Chains A and B, each alone.
Chain A
Amino acid sequence: MADKRAVTLNVNGKDYRITVEPRRTLADALRDDCGLTGTHIGCEHGVCGACTVLVDNRPVRSCLMFAVQAEGRNVRTVEGLANGEELHPLQKAFWEKHGLQCGFCTPGFLMLATGILEAEPDISDEDLRDVLSSNLCRCTGYQNIIKAVRAAASEMRACQPSASL
């Protein structure tokens, strides 16, 4: 065991000053040190994607990143998606389209989809499926996850101020 190190994590716009071992993963630090348990741990070897968060707005497996590596970067988790009581369009669409059952993979899918739709609002259907194949869900057969993400994509596009003008 190595000595612990002081790290400041910026999560959802808020600074968390924590002291962790260098080997502590970002997922464990978010859950155990910051108390943000919305990020779930499904496999700890980078396959299932339940622990997906955004780091500098890009989807990352937080089980494959050390907390110390996230210092000075902007981390976003499922807890930061809703605006107060108002659900994010993706959360709303997952609810309306029945995009979740047990809910364990859901935060990972929401963050994965947030990352991709923010980066590529007009992503093709084929590319969208390709990206969503990064994460595993055991309950839904993905049928309503894809429907929900598509529905949210159109809503997010409609709400977006036109960037080209």
Chain B
Amino acid sequence: MSWIGRSLPRLEDPSLLKGQGRYVADLARGAAAVKFVRSPLAAGAILGIEKPDDGLVFTADDLVGVKAIRPLLHRPDYVPVSQPVLAKDRVVFCGQAVAVVVADDQGLAEDLAEQVFVDIEPEDAVVDFAQALGEGARAVHPEAPGNVLVEGNIRTPGVDAAFAAAAEVVALELRSGRQTAMPLEARGGVARFDPLAGRVTLYASVQMPHMLRTGIADVLGFPESDLRVVAPDVGGGFGQKMSLFPEYVVLVWLARHLQRDVAWLEDRRENFLAAAHSRDQVFKVRGAFAADGTLLAIDADLKSNVGAFSCYPVTCGVEPLMGLAELPGPYRFSEYAARSRGVTTNTCMMAPYRGVARPMLTLTMERMMDVAARRLGIDPVEIRRRNLIETFPHRSPTGLVYDEGSYGETMELAVKALDLPTFRRRQAEARAAGRYLGAGFSVFSERTGYGTPAYAARGMDIVPGYELVNLAMDPSGFVEARIGASPHGQGLKTSLAQLIADELGVPPTKVRIIAGDTDATPYGWGTFASRSMVIAGGACKIAAGKVAERLKSVAAAMMHVEPETIRLADDLAYAEASNQTLPIGEVARAAYHQSHRFPQAGPGLQEQALYDPAGTFSNACHACIVEVDVETGGVKIERFVVAEDAGILINPMIVDGQIHGGVAQGIANALFEELVYDETGNLLTASLADYLPPTIAEMPSIEIEHLVTYSEATITRAKGVGEGGTIGAPAAVINAIVDALSPFGIDLFEIPATPQRIRDLIRNAERTSHG
């Protein structure tokens, strides 16, 4: 029986449940404590830094020969900016590291950091789009006058004609507040110096260990082999832990300079101030519709606030360029014009966060559909039916190729699950009783598992995408797969073990996945962009298939039959025709220790495999029912339905877990979480008392339905599923709120839809209707 498709409890869990997980902070024993002194101002010139008389304090002047972080895109419209690892001469955001101190323990390090005084001549901060793009705006970086770091443009030939022919043109301006991934474990690293080898081992809470090693070695100017990076248990990442941060460079520099072990464990305030942020976008979009609701064209002006620096390695192009490329989403219109800009400001750097651009572009397209439906007198579900892509492969106006999916089918499934006719009756009754219920939908595509072609198309200097796997069955019949992906909570080890178990006929408990250690794994790109199951999974399947062939060859020789008659299952090699069996462990031992008997197979059972797919699109429809309290502006989500198609599910329980967590973060984006800067660039929401992730009290029960489309785009026929929840949820929630408040004639184009924002809209609507 196949292991694929089973909700196997995770192999990762027993140690985590017993408190035996090893996160970075658990590996810091004996290391000196490192604390960064951060800029209290968003912009200004550094006039001087006063250090205390005693204690280890370092500033940019001490970092002789250390280069700046300088991520590159090879596009004419990209302006590279350099990020010094400690601020030199000037500061460009509040929270930027200016100095670093080292002391025997955390408390002493914090005492010492307080004695460092940074004298800054403040300058006016550029915080929002109006300040950054206005006439005569101050340049955040001298090399980028105008404050645009990257700009993409596209215009298909028939856009103007489509707008001229339109029965209805819908113009919208949408805003998304600034959010943070907020992994429960903040960033951190422990750098241990080995005086014998002259080598540093950096344990760090990261998603991309190999990339981090490359980045640090380049900036510090030493061979990569002088550094080992290990990502131990990682307490969530969601994208925030996939960039090269200055703190890690400084940590490794300190370990080498002081020749001692040092640990930096970020606190929550630092994580809010200086880890990466996300969202903060304004999308101004016009849609041209025919009278029957057919979407003819989209014309878009997309602005993404990318903060003070460009993130390494993916650069600040990640949000604006994905927004440009993927705005058309699941709809089949062919005329498309867009301008998309990444705008630099005196705020924390933006980096990928679960969903990247797509929560906002899905909100945009799904609001567009609802507004157009209302204006044209068409049901919101019906207008989507008339526009969703149905034939595959589908080529989008930006040239993306969508593999087989079930866009219409997932929507119909969600509509059915919601029982819309019954809901509409209940909604009418509730309204009569002064209660406001609404239903909302969101249909979207989730581009996942894309390899080097997708990144190369963006003009990236560093082109990620492939994965290598080294897989071996040892002489005892146990399997080790060394992967370049770097899971941090997804349960990837369990899912890969199930996949490999099927290929090799052993139970998953005999499969060990080795990840997150540059000394022990092939060069790889880590875990992000919903790629690991698809790409590392594909490489595992290929490598395990190759080892299975070797195993069969040896087993066949041992049983004097043909290799193609051997079947591997239940930890046994079956020679079906002759009704013989051999334990796989026995075959494995022979492969190593009796290799002279099997010259055709060669010794051992190990193989390497590479997988570098073009990518695959998952798809889903989210649907929800909300009740809005019009007195308080509070929103309660009554039901939340996800109809999802991610191809074959390797471990359905783990897939559902990814959807649950994604939806929670999407609901947070829709209703609760917002990082707010004041006009001077000071972050007002730098604690969990001010920034409000949902608790269990705010979360509805999430109902999940699966459809399975067999796509040839991946060799496992599994599609990525890590981000869909976050992508689809905001639009479904906002559409439901607008539906609930339709008696007031209110439209909502800004998230999070906080009680205050909803009350403002209601108050304005009442004033207008009474006035």
Chain A contacts to B: CB under 8 angstroms: 1, 21, 23-24, 28, 31-32, 35-45, 47-48, 50, 77-79, 81-82, 87, 91, 94-96, 98, 100-107, 110, 129-130, 132-146
Q: Are A103 and B235 in contact (CB under 8 A)?
A: yes
Q: Are A142 and B13 in contact (CB under 8 A)?
A: no
CA–CA, A152 to B186, complex, Å?
A: 30
| Cβ-defined partner of B17 (8 Å) among A44, A87, A104, A134 | A87
What's the least CB distance linking A136 to chain B, in Å? 6
The 7 closest A-B pairs by CB, nearest first: A38-B19, A102-B489, A104-B235, A103-B16, A141-B664, A78-B19, A47-B688
Q: Are A138 and B236 in contact (CB under 8 A)?
A: yes
Nearest residue, chain A, Cβ from B28: A32
What's the least CB distance linking B37 to chain A, in Å? 18
What's the least CB distance linking A72 to chain B, in Å? 24
CA–CA, A135 to B688, complex, Å?
A: 12
B693 close to A (CB within 8 Å): yes
Q: Are B17 and A37 in contact (CB under 8 A)?
A: no
Residues on B with C-beta less than 8 A from A38 are 18-21
Q: Are B9 and A96 in contact (CB under 8 A)?
A: yes
Q: A42-B185, A45-B687, A87-B17 are in contact. Are A139 and B696 (CB under 8 A)?
A: no
Q: Are B696 and A133 in contact (CB under 8 A)?
A: yes
Interface of A is mostly: loop
CA–CA, A23 to B111, complex, Å?
A: 12
Among B25, B657, B701, the one with the most A-chain Cβ atoms within 10 Å of its Cβ is B657
| Cβ-defined partner of B10 (8 Å) among A50, A78, A98 | A98
Q: Are A133 and B107 in contact (CB under 8 A)?
A: no
Q: How many chain B residues have a CB neighbour from A under 8 Å?
A: 59
Chain B contacts to A: CB under 8 angstroms: 7, 9-10, 12-14, 16-23, 25-26, 29, 105-108, 111, 182-186, 233-236, 238, 267-268, 488-491, 653-654, 656-657, 660-665, 687-689, 693, 695-697, 699, 701-702, 725
Q: Are A141 and B663 in contact (CB under 8 A)?
A: yes
Among B16, B17, B183, the one with the most A-chain Cβ atoms within 10 Å of its Cβ is B17
Nearest residue, chain A, Cβ from B12: A103
Q: A48-B688, A101-B489 are in contact. Are A78 and B18 (CB under 8 A)?
A: yes
Residues on B with C-beta less than 8 A from A79 are 18-19
Q: A104-B184, A129-B697 are in contact. Are A140 and B16 (CB under 8 A)?
A: no
CA–CA, A146 to B234, complex, Å?
A: 23
Q: A103-B235, A140-B660 are in contact. Are A1 and B107 (CB under 8 A)?
A: yes
Residues on A with C-beta less than 8 A from B488 are 102
CA–CA, A95 to B314, complex, Å?
A: 36
Could you jot down 9 A-B contacts, CB within 8 Å?
A: A38-B18, A42-B268, A48-B268, A87-B18, A98-B491, A102-B183, A129-B697, A133-B695, A133-B697
CA–CA, A122 to B305, complex, Å?
A: 50
Q: Are B664 and A142 in contact (CB under 8 A)?
A: yes
Residues on B with C-beta less than 8 A from A78 are 17-19
CA–CA, A137 to B16, complex, Å?
A: 15
Q: A38-B19, A42-B185 are in contact. Are A102 and B236 (CB under 8 A)?
A: yes
What's the least CB distance linking A52 to chain B, in Å? 12
Residues on B with C-beta less than 8 A from A136 are 184, 688, 693, 695
Q: Are A45 and B268 in contact (CB under 8 A)?
A: yes
CA–CA, A143 to B640, complex, Å?
A: 12
CA–CA, A110 to B13, complex, Å?
A: 13
Q: A79-B18, A146-B696 are in contact. Are A98 and B26 (CB under 8 A)?
A: no
Residues on A with C-beta less than 8 A from B656 are 98, 143
Nearest residue, chain A, Cβ from B265: A41
Q: Are A140 and B661 in contact (CB under 8 A)?
A: yes
